[in-house]
Amino acid sequence: MRVDNTLSWANIPVNANPNHQRAEWIKLSSTHTNTMNKRVILITGTPGTGKTTTAKQLAAKLDAQYINLTDYAKTYDLTSGEDKQRKTIIINEEKMRTKLTQTINNTDKTNIIIDGHYASAVTPTDLVTKVFVLRRNPKELKQFMEKCGFEGAKLWENLSAEILDVCLIEAVQTQPGKVCELDVTGKTVEEVVNDILDVLENGKKCYSGIVDWLGMLEREGLTDQYLKA
């Protein structure tokens, strides 16, 4: 089960076996056309980190097919219900994984940009070129989320997920060796897109594990103010 627009530790497949997942996803895609000449780029991160604006601008720069997973799930009926408490849909991951494989194989575009905080978990790993995990300082992120109308449990769950590296951990577990972590704090969308293009087009090295929000908050004595979920 995958809850859309809300992150928590429940989203991480703690006992996930990347080798088993890879075998399963290769099986799903084995009957489709060769995708070696395509680049599938995932843009993921906690809500409020700028995934959608970044992904759309990147897609425009690369003349890529753009897939927003929330819209995609609704369009192709890839849901399995509704989380009434969180007021959001529940994603059917198996159906989405199968449909994404079809879309990627059938598109005539060379580049495919997939936007969503659970993109790493539902995109077959053998089709993925690179995963960009956007990170934002929780102080700035809280302000962004409040401006977007986040409040109560939804705000604190997502803020905690950013502090505790939920999206990064999931990306590293499900897409090993393909993850680039980008600190977007204080940056414009254009700057973030250029950082991504430097990796994709110019061969710039990228890494994961570059931020430590929990350690930062602990050093500043602010943990209790931001980690409440």
Higher pLDDT, 6 or 29: 6
Does 5 have pLDDT greater than 80?
A: no
Q: What is the DSSP string of 26-52?
A: HHHHTTSPP-TT-EEEEEEESTTS-HH
Closest to 5 measured CA to CA, from 104, 82, 113: 82
Rounded to whole angstroms, how far apart are CA atoms 20 and 22? 5
Does 138 have pLDDT greater than 70?
A: yes
- Enter the pTM of the model: 0.84
pLDDT value at residue 173: 97
State the chain's mean pLDDT as an integer. Answer: 87
Tens digit of pLDDT for each residue in 25-54? 444 434 344 456 899 999 999 999 999 999
Tens digit of pLDDT for each residue in 195-224? 999 999 999 999 999 999 999 999 999 999
pLDDT value at residue 85: 67
The mean pLDDT value for 55-79 works out to: 96
The mean pLDDT value for 117-123 works out to: 96
* 2-6+33-138+166-211 is classed CATH 3.40.250.10: no
pLDDT value at residue 14: 41
Tens digit of pLDDT for each residue in 72-92? 999 999 988 766 666 677 899
CA distances from 166 to 6, 110, 182 (A): 11, 30, 14
Does 21 have pLDDT greater than 80?
A: no
Domain boundaries, the chain: 2-6+33-138+166-211
